[in-house]
């Protein structure tokens, strides 16, 4: 019986390790995007990799995840000539400045 308990413990530890490593590919929480007072979309537990596009341009972004964001006025997470991305910290909210344009995409800031 001791060998079956050891095997069960080993399988349990391996399963926990796999589950924890899988969670690292997602930002835990939500990103809430609004246009004025109208809710545009809520993104839950998004992947921390790549570029994420909003369904339409938004004026307000609320970062309710455990990771910092970069906001872009382009749909492909690129910085236009003469422009810049905007850093949005954990738990913060940002409003697009009218001269910069609407937020159209976001990515996660490198940690």
Distance CA 62, CA 48 (A): 16
pLDDT value of position 82: 87
The domain segmentation of the chain, as residue ranges, is 26-108
Average pLDDT, integer, range 87-93: 90
pLDDT tens, position by position, 22-68 = 456 888 999 999 999 999 999 999 999 999 999 999 999 999 999 99
pLDDT value of position 111: 73
Beta bridge partner(s), residue 58: 103
CATH class, range 26-108: mainly beta
pLDDT value of position 108: 95
Average pLDDT, integer, range 4-29: 62
pLDDT value of position 21: 47
The pLDDT of residue 101 is above 60: yes
**Order of all β-strands in the sheet with 60-65:** 38-44, 29-35, 60-65, 93-95
pLDDT value of position 27: 87
Distance CA 52, CA 61 (A): 13
pLDDT value of position 46: 95
């Amino acid at each position: 019986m001791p060998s079956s308990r050891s095997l069960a413990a080993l399988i349990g530890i391996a399963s926990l390790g796999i589950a924890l490593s899988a969670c690292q590919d997602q930002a835990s929480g939500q990103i809430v995007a609004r246009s004025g007072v109208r809710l545009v979309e809520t993104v839950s537990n998004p992947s921390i990799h790549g570029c994420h596009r909003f369904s339409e341009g938004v004026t307000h972004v609320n970062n309710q995840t455990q990771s910092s964001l970069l906001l872009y006025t382009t749909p492909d997470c690129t910085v236009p000539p003469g422009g810049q991305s905007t850093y949005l910290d954990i738990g913060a909210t940002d409003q697009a400045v009218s001269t910069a344009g609407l937020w159209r995409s976001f990515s996660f800031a490198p940690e």
